[in-house]
A and B are shown apart, each in its own frame.
Chain A
């Protein structure tokens, strides 16, 4: 187990080093999120939504910004291996599950970094009232993980496809729609201060994340060795 974690950590560290060299994923996710936030904040702002609609609409907008930003860069982890012809070498030097673990860790860290910057900005610019910060943190962590685990396996699939184009968004978004419903429901419950709503949404998100993790562990070798 420790050996597996150390090897996955090495893949993660390699990805982080190459990412810091080029900053393609960081720039894509960060700029997309900030630009979308600026557009949403400018066109809607904190006062154009009726008080009763605020928890639901602001929760939905927050997750739409996060989801579309994720679509802009989370496929990089696998696509860059194919583009730079390093995938074959990685296949020789690491077991499939080690690669999957390292790439998943990379996507989770990138997404969490994005949320650390984006969410406070969103709260300030949109006047989003959060009644339970702990609840919001749990929803963001669980939602972020499930988003990362789903996009990691889809990124592995599209990296092996001949024409990638918009395929990452086309394949990821439908699979992520149930998650989008659960996290919006959970964030709305956070804004309304409903602990029951947060727990119910967290259960659904964690279940989906757990199932996606197990299925990815079983299926990833078939995609990676193809």
Chain B
């Protein structure tokens, strides 16, 4: 496989080195931010990128769902399903890393802070997406109903990510894109964070393409068995 896709193989190794450098930089290049307990601020280099990738994955799922409703191509259904499952995985990772930070800073893993509440709702919405897929037996009907639900689900994302946290008072530190549109972060930290965002986005692209290929093979096998 690797000999047939040399460019993809090179990109994979670049990604591997890039993520390694980001992990090193997160601990040894960027300083710990002032106003946070101990080294806890370093989690931002992992927490923000996984939350970003979760949102990106849900966007990809929405776009693939729109495409499916237009083209009725199985490949688009596979893309939507895979993107949703990766979005769910990265949302869980964002929840876990956020909880670790909350335990260190506020003394409790869970505080029902508006951002914690929003991510929980997102997890529930995309878990419901998979519940719907499991409830429909006919593959074509499953794909189109899931596509509709995926678009409906994505409509709630801006409300959960941007509106809910601004209606309620939050313990959460200021976001990168804050209400004043100012970056309150040292230059070294900002560089590592941006590098991490690029690295995690690359990781998502790699996982997404591999998972799409696996799912295509799985469905082909399933059809052959039937």
User: Most B CB atoms within 10 A — which of A160, A162, A164, A177?
Assistant: A177
A20 to chain B, nearest CB (A): 31
B120-134 vs A: 1/0 string, CB under 8 Å?
010011011001100
Q: How far is the CA of A207 from the CA of B127 in the complex (A)?
A: 25
A200 to chain B, nearest CB (A): 7
Contact status A222-B148, CB under 8 Å? yes
A49 within 8 A of B: no
Q: How far is the CA of A171 from the CA of B150 in the complex (A)?
A: 11
Residues of B within 8 A of A154 (CB): 152
B225 within 8 A of A: no
Contact status A162-B137, CB under 8 Å? yes
Range class of the B interface residue count: 20 to 34
Q: How far is the CA of A89 from the CA of B160 in the complex (A)?
A: 39
**B contacts with A: majority SS:** helix
Contact status A167-B131, CB under 8 Å? yes
A222 to chain B, nearest CB (A): 5
Contact status A222-B149, CB under 8 Å? no
Q: How many A-B residue pairs lie within 8 Å, measured between CB atoms?
A: 92
Residues of A within 8 A of B153 (CB): 174-175
Contact status A182-B137, CB under 8 Å? no
Q: How far is the CA of A200 from the CA of B164 in the complex (A)?
A: 11
Segment at the interface with B among A26-34, A135-143, A211-219: A211-219
A53 within 8 A of B: no
B30 within 8 A of A: no
B10 within 8 A of A: no
Segment at the interface with A among B50-58, B81-89, B138-146, B184-192: B138-146
A59 within 8 A of B: no
Q: How far is the CA of A158 from the CA of B141 in the complex (A)?
A: 11
Contact status A171-B149, CB under 8 Å? yes
Contact status B132-A167, CB under 8 Å? yes
Q: How far is the CA of A219 from the CA of B128 in the complex (A)?
A: 18
B136 within 8 A of A: yes
Closest to B163 in A: A204
Q: A200 touches which one: B117, B124, B137, B167 (CB < 8 A)?
A: B167
Residues of A within 8 A of B24 (CB): none
Residues of A within 8 A of B110 (CB): none
List the 8 closest A-B pairs by CB distance, nearest first.
A174-B124, A174-B125, A178-B159, A177-B121, A162-B137, A161-B135, A219-B148, A174-B128
What are 16 A-B residue pairs whose CB atoms fall within 8 Å in the complex? A153-B148, A157-B145, A160-B136, A160-B145, A162-B136, A165-B135, A167-B132, A174-B127, A178-B164, A185-B167, A185-B168, A204-B159, A204-B167, A215-B152, A219-B152, A222-B148
Interface residues of B (CB under 8 A from A): 69, 117, 121, 124-125, 127-128, 131-132, 135-138, 141, 144-145, 147-149, 151-153, 155-156, 159-160, 163-164, 167-168
Interface residues of A (CB under 8 A from B): 150, 153-154, 157-158, 160-165, 167, 170-171, 173-175, 177-178, 181-182, 185, 200-201, 204, 207-208, 211-212, 215, 219, 222-223, 226
